[in-house]
Amino acid sequence: HEDWGTHLDGKQVQRWAEALGQTVTAERDREVQAFEQGLRPEGPANPPALLAIGMDGGRVQTREKQGENASGWREDKVCAITSYLPGDGTRKHPPEPLVTTYVATMGDTQAFGKLVRLEAERRGLRQAQTVLAMGDAGNWIDPLNERERLADQRIVDYYHADEHVHEAGRAAMGGDTPEAARLGEQLEKHLWKGQRAELIALLAGHAERLGPPRESDSPDHPRRVLASNLGYFQTHQCHMDYPKYRAQGWPIGSGVAESGVKLFNKRVKGTEQFWNVAQVESILSLRALWLSQDGRWTRYWNNRPAYAKAA
């Protein structure tokens, strides 16, 4: 910076960012510890009418490998919490996202759940009229939502479910064929209209025609793919009542969380980037502070003591 008579190279910035991130992480962890001891954060002065909590995972390449033959790729967990102005149930006035804040960690689901719960309470979890849990029904997301009791309503991301619909259609009808496209369109109509029983019955009929998966079938064999997708809809059908959600003026997609993962990965993911876990944790904490849209980045710097300029 010319006022300071200094030149900053990339490595200097990286070291300073990691050092600052360590400070932010330590402060974050102290807040979690205080929360566990019963010190709840203050909710917002103007509680949101609608709060949506979306979670997803990314991929970070670390120097530490888990297991003898394992790679260094590990999952970072990201949560985006968004306040919404509900829509009126029409395409003309969809729900409007207002403010999104983030938390992210390399920790396990237990540690992540505590961060999410704390941030959700800070954003108005207890005061909001409605709280939604949005996601793709990933393996660790549903149990975390249940354990933390985060939401009034869980919603499986419609667009993710739609991908399963077309994958099932291709498995049932032999790949990218006109018949598969027609079946996919038929299944998609059932999904959009909330006709889950009809969708499941149609898939079950095709699964019966193909027969159950055999031990010799590869993971991408049509029988396995179709059976997997049938199980997906059977398991999550109670969170796929999309006509009801649209009528309430709620979002039906978790795109904010998925976009959030991309924003974090833009900084920490790359085939030539190798991180220590502590390193990447500090950057994730700093990134969450920077990306959050409620002004906390500015507040953080305003509350830090100023550096004295050398004479």
Helix (H, G, I), strand (E, B) or coil at 40: coil
For residue range 142-161, list pLDDT tens digits in order: 899 889 889 999 999 999 99
Q: What is the DSSP letter of 213?
A: P
For residue range 35-76, list pLDDT tens digits in order: 999 999 988 999 999 999 999 988 887 766 665 545 677 888
Q: How much of the chain, in percent, has pLDDT values that exceed 70? A: 90
CA distances to 30, 125, 222 from 262, rounded to whole Å, are 27, 25, 31
For residue range 217-252, list pLDDT tens digits in order: 999 999 999 999 999 999 999 999 999 999 999 999
Listed residue (53, 58, 45, 59) closest to 118, CA to CA: 53
Total residues found in the chain within this entry: 311
DSSP3 helix / strand / coil % (the chain, rounded to 5)? 50, 15, 35
For residue range 78-109, list pLDDT tens digits in order: 999 999 999 998 889 999 999 999 999 999 99
Q: How far apart are CA 289 and CA 286, in angstroms?
A: 5
Segment among 91-100, 107-116, 125-134, 299-308 with least mean pLDDT: 299-308
Beta bridge partners of 78: 56, 104
The predicted model scores a pTM of 0.89
CB neighbours of 165 closer than 8 A, spacing ≥ 6? Answer: 184, 187, 188, 191, 199, 229
Determine the pLDDT at residue 67.
57
For residue range 162-194, list pLDDT tens digits in order: 999 999 999 999 889 999 999 999 999 999 999
